[in-house]
Chain A
Amino acid sequence: MSGTKREVMVCAGGGCVASGSLDLVNEFHARLSSANGSVAVRTCGCLGPCARGPLVRIEPDGVLYEEVTVADVDEIVREHLFEDRVVERLCHRNPATDEVVPKQNDIEFFRNQTKIVLRNCGRIDPMSIDDYRAEGGYEALEKAVTSLSGDQIIEELKTSGLRGRGGAGFPTWRKWHFARNIPGARKYVVCNADEGDPGAFMDRSILEGDPHSLIEGMAIAAYTIGATQGYVYVRAEYPLAVSRLAKALEAARNAGILGASIMGSGVAFDLGIRMGSGAFVCGEETALMASIEGRRGEPRPRPPFPAEVGLWESPTLLNNVETYANVPAILARGAEWFAEIGTAQSRGTKVFALAGAVNNSGLVEVPMGTTLGELIYDIGGGITGGKSFKAAQIGGPSGGCIPREHLSVPLDYESVSKLGAIMGSGGLIVMDDDTCMVDVARFFLEFVQEESCGKCVPCRVGTKRMLEILERICSGKGVEGDIEMLEQLGRQIKETSLCGLGQSAPNPVLSTIRYFRHEYEAHIRERHCEAGVCPSLVRAPCQSACPAGVDVPGFVSLVGEERYAEALKLHRERNPFAAVCARVCFHTCEDKCRRTSLDDSVAIRGIKRFMVDQEVVIQHPRVVESEENEKRRIAIVGGGPAGLSCGYFLARLGYRPVVLEAEQRPGGMLVQTIPAYRLPRETLAREIRMIEQLGVTIKTDTALGRDFTLEQLRDEGYEAVFLGVGAPSGMALGIDGEDAEGVVEANDFLRRYNIRGSVPVGKQVVVVGGGNAAIDAARTALRLGSEKVTVVYRRTQEQMPAYAEEIEAALAEGVELRCLTQPLEVVSNDTGSVSALRCARMALGEFDRSGRRGATRAKDEPFLVEADQVIVAIGQRLDPATMLGDMEVELTGNGFIKADQLTGCTSVPWLFAGGDAASGPASVVSAIAAGERAAVGIDAMLTGEEHAFWRTEHVLDTDYDPDADPVPFPREPIPMVPVDRRKRSFDEVELPWNESVALRQCQRCLRCDYGRVPVSPDHAASEVHYA
């Protein structure tokens, strides 16, 4: 046992108590009873990272243990306290490096914070007034009552620039100034601790973790304005906070800090607690005062402001917990010190309650002006489950959301409100792609509608009307005009409501419309909820996530009953390329699988692979013969997944389309760039043959712009043309020396090998880029005999757009990855061939509009990467001039063809487009889906009706017992050929499962589709019409 006296600090914040920290305190006491008091066991307030609780800190070592259980106490006592050995098992691990970080101050979550309000939280025992005084507590109050006048205090506050932390950011000094200068025989100070915003818990943590800082701040306020009585209005949901505050008040009275004479100054002040009773509107100041007075908590118009006519008609100063807690620190350390923190307009710090889909949720305090991205990624540790950030809801039901493209917004009052959100009390909910923004808006509106006190009509009736519209949209019954009506109602409610609740109630709706209008439109027009949330629009989240809308639970359950042919047929209802997708699909279905909440997602792609391997006789889908349609001429330009799917679905409606493919073999990217080790050529050829058998004619070696033009097609009598030419041109690096011998474009490199069977390959290959083309090129080069293949990418590995499993496979095969590396120049030898790539090291900088950190040049010297071949894979584009000729077709901002989301129709009525040519580089399954939509669009254009019979959901007759417990089988990985055997071969690297593995995997499906009847477009009620 070491000589210094140790302390065990157990977090007793509300979060850790819920996780069982009080049991730990007892256990530590029991274990240490024999240690003769050489180790003190104490409780402290909230440390911040609540999700990691219960937390235990050992002082003076500063070591923090996470997720401590009663069973771990023995080990901590034996190892750490008696033997001086840190129990690494319970320490924080840096998620990026997996390194053990024992000391609290070294953990990223804490390192980037600045604590003023939470200065004592987690450091002292909240129940000990001596602890508080030992940290300098009540010195500011003493200084105030002994040596400062009220005006001097207000002057200090003015210099400090402190603004109200309750949300609106009104300058605190001004409020205090009003309250001080309005005459009144009796004045009150009131603290608003009715932290009603769902998602905010900073006030609770201060009350629980450092109640004396609030008492001190309020006492200073009382002295300043001349109040003798104060109230803290706490919500009833916080019983622990109430009891701790009550004990702290008692201790302050006993110490002579509250009562007839504050610290012997002769100035009287006492504080009482008033508990809320579950009414959100009582967070509004006039309603709050009505509630303290014992009345219904209904707001009244202002002016008069509380500073003039407040509690029981007396002048009243009303501030929020965090505002008061700042005051002692300002007086103690000086207004200048405080004013240096934060930004010019918003000084000091702000406490945020970080929650939702973020790794390190909990309480954080950062200087004003910290960017949202820093807060979420540096302190919050990023999004849980490696998902991508979608938006942050800031300011609760009165606030708004901030989307991905504004991650670099500095968090201060003005910047946040410019984006249509408000700082609010500091609740910050992080949302990932699994969140439906329409549903979130509906949620908040339901909340404010329920909490509306009913006194004024705009709020009571207006929010009800808005809620009805939102409910309609979420249940698939939205109509055109709904969005505009929401905007109009929202504006009116904001302008005409009586109090802050109503004036801010429409904010979440208006802000989600502002940034996510396309989601509203998808709900209304396509009856589609991409996030898989809105129950009426979602049969199963996997199916909603699939761009092609494949009935995933359907084919999985059919495979589970060994009905393989039926399963495959069901798959091909929506997606002809079952065998292709079984190999190359990026399976968003698995990302949305609900089984993830239990253990891990169902291995849907693995099941699909097993299913397609059972196909002996090719399974044709249902085709509707039509003599009429057979006569109509439709041309499809481009034989890739989009074009072939378009042909497939047209053929099923009885058309006989012609596919014109530029290369010698159809398949587009599937055959030209996706290597055979991922997608065997025969697999692809078989599914293309199936499409041909349905009546699709494919002409190869026929290139748009070379062999024909779009106008010629029209002249030849084609009534509709689908353009699915992909994005075949590679982008150039735009650096010096790029035209050297040995610099090739990735798609050219892959295309030459895949179509012609050979391509020159270097000994030392450098691939530039981070997408799938880069990884495909790297692995192909390795297989063709390169000695060393290096991929250089300007951002980090996590940010690479290539599929993670492909990157891992490449690394396993020996591809070297150099991230945060930016090419500057291609260096050539005297014969003009490439000899090296000069690169700069990059560092991650601010968040860009893609929601990722931009890479910026690091200060290091550039360095050389030797290479005799450089393969450039930094993006693809469309070359509209060669494709379109003189025809005028509207393009998107990125130079792709502008096509309607629903029908694929371009600005030319007979011209349709889809796949990469319209969307920019995207996935195979997105191209398939675009082909399907265009087929439906073309049919509708030609016949004036929609006939997509495959879009009707099928009724499943597979067995399912909804009451059975989920089977305990784990997710199975897809086996791969061993690295040494696969890395020089183009044979398929993935191996199929055997039947028992596949059947067990099928049983893992939770059958989210069970009992669900989705809204089909025909059933959409149209009881609402806007003139």
Chain B
Amino acid sequence: MSAHGTATRTTAPAETLEPEQHQFIDRVVKAHHLEHGALIPVLQEVQKEFGYLSQPAIDRIASGLGIPFSEVAGVVTFYSFFNTSPRGKHIVRVCLGTACYVRNGKQVLSDLQRELGVTVGETSEDRNFTLEVGRCFGACGLAPVVMIDDDVHQRVKPARLRELLSHYQAEGEPTATPGNGSQPKQQEGAR
């Protein structure tokens, strides 16, 4: 497979892959292509690296694995974990599983929407946060739960949301007070 063959079916004008992205996809495809049912693991690895699955990326995976583009796209759109558009730096997932739901998770979500100025599935204007809804992270004993990236924040109170988000806002902004919010999990754990 080569880098040339892939552009034909790409209709979105802006999106193209960098050469090192091509190489990454090819590496992943090569590592899995002998396996039965390699497609989903490949998609998962590529999304983990790029944050989302752009159309050229899907195209490259399809031709790499020898699966029709339509079939790959069908799989991508079926599963809620796959995204086809870029997302924020941090993914905020509000659990609306049963336990969180009956423990006021709905209120947490509506307050977060107000706080971030986005609805579910959208990314904040500063591209810092994408808001999503989760269906149970298995931390029901600690409901309501919000997962930011891989950190699970337990017993989130709507009144404390601003403080919680500030740990992630401060991160990566050198102007912010040093030492504040660099370890969000620790803050939560210490309560």
Contacts and interface: CB of A to CB of B under 8 A. Distances in A.
A294 B138 CA distance: 25
B142 to A, nearest CB: 6
Contacts of A429: 98-99, 102, 140
A20 B183 CA distance: 11
Contacts of A280: 135
Nearest to A49: B141
Contact of A447 (B103, B135, B143, B153): B135
B165 to A, nearest CB: 16
Nearest to B95: A198
Given A20-B189, A292-B37, A294-B39, A50 B81 contact: no
B191 A50 contact: no
A236 B81 contact: yes
Interface in B132-157: 134-143, 145, 150-154, 157
A136 interface: no
Contacts of B139: 14-15, 18, 50, 201
B75 interface: yes
Interface in A957-982: 965-966
A199 interface: yes
Interface in A692-727: none
A888 to B, nearest CB: 45
Interface residues of B, number: 50
Given A274-B40, A278-B80, A198 B135 contact: yes
Contact of A18 (B97, B152, B190): B152
B152 A17 contact: yes
B80 A279 contact: yes
B36 A275 contact: no
Contact of B104 (A18, A20, A291, A597): A597
Contact of A443 (B98, B145, B189): B98
A440 B159 CA distance: 24
Given A277-B79, A293-B36, A355 B99 contact: yes
Nearest to B145: A18
B82 A277 contact: yes
A20 B41 contact: no
A68 B75 CA distance: 44
Interface in A282-317: 291-298, 312
Nearest to B78: A296
A915 interface: no
Interface stretch (A75-83, A356-364, A677-685, A864-872): A356-364
A294 B29 CA distance: 14
B142 A294 contact: no
B89 interface: no
Looking at A19, A69, A435, the one whose CB has the most chain B CB atoms below 10 A away is A19
B188 interface: yes
B189 A277 contact: no
A382 interface: no
Nearest to A275: B44
Residue of A18, A196, A293, A357 with most chain B CB atoms under a 10 A cut-off: A18
B141 A15 contact: yes
Contacts of B85: none
A584 interface: no
Contact of B141 (A17, A279, A361): A361
A205 B139 CA distance: 10
A756 B98 CA distance: 57
B168 interface: no
Given A20-B188, A294-B75, A435-B102, A199 B81 contact: no
A616 interface: no
B38 interface: yes
B189 to A, nearest CB: 2
A295 B75 contact: yes
A237 B134 contact: yes
A517 to B, nearest CB: 20
Interface in B91-150: 96-104, 134-143, 145, 150
A598 interface: yes
Nearest to B189: A20
Nearest to B74: A296
Contacts of B75: 294-296
B88 interface: no
A23 B36 contact: no
Contacts of A125: none
A955 interface: no
Counting chain B CB atoms within 10 Å of each CB, the highest count among A14, A195, A238 belongs to A14
B185 interface: yes
A658 interface: no
Contact of A598 (B138, B152, B157): B157
A598 B37 CA distance: 49
Contacts of B136: 196-201, 237
Nearest to A508: B98
B104 to A, nearest CB: 6
B186 interface: yes
Nearest to A237: B137
Given A200-B136, A201-B140, A429-B99, A239 B150 contact: yes
B157 A20 contact: no
A51 B141 contact: yes
A54 interface: yes
A431 interface: yes
Contact of B41 (A205, A275, A362): A275
A204 interface: yes
B51 interface: no
A533 to B, nearest CB: 9
B99 A23 contact: no
Contacts of B140: 50, 198-201, 353, 355-356, 361, 427, 429
B93 to A, nearest CB: 9
Contact of B102 (A15, A204, A440): A440
Interface in A241-300: 274-280, 291-298
A273 to B, nearest CB: 9
Contacts of A18: 139, 142, 145, 151-154, 188
A965 B185 CA distance: 25
B103 A357 contact: yes
Contacts of B39: 294-295
Nearest to A67: B191
A881 interface: no
A207 to B, nearest CB: 10
Given A18-B152, A200-B136, A277-B81, A50 B141 contact: yes
A435 B102 CA distance: 7
Contact of A198 (B37, B71, B99, B141): B99
B23 to A, nearest CB: 23
Interface in A21-78: 21, 23, 49-51, 53-54, 69-71
A435 B143 CA distance: 15
A198 B41 CA distance: 24
Given A237-B138, A239-B150, A355 B79 contact: no
A239 B134 CA distance: 14
A236 B102 CA distance: 24
Interface in B160-191: 185-186, 188-191
A51 B186 contact: no
A458 interface: no
Nearest to B155: A51
A393 B98 contact: yes
A161 interface: no
Nearest to B103: A356
24 contacts: A18-B139, A18-B145, A20-B185, A23-B185, A50-B139, A53-B142, A195-B138, A198-B97, A200-B138, A201-B141, A237-B136, A237-B137, A239-B150, A277-B44, A277-B79, A278-B80, A279-B78, A280-B135, A292-B37, A295-B39, A295-B75, A361-B143, A362-B141, A447-B135
5 closest A-B pairs (Cβ-Cβ)?
A: A20-B189, A198-B97, A50-B141, A355-B140, A277-B79
Given A70-B190, A237-B134, A451-B135, 8 more contacts: A21-B189, A199-B99, A200-B140, A236-B44, A356-B102, A361-B140, A435-B102, A443-B96
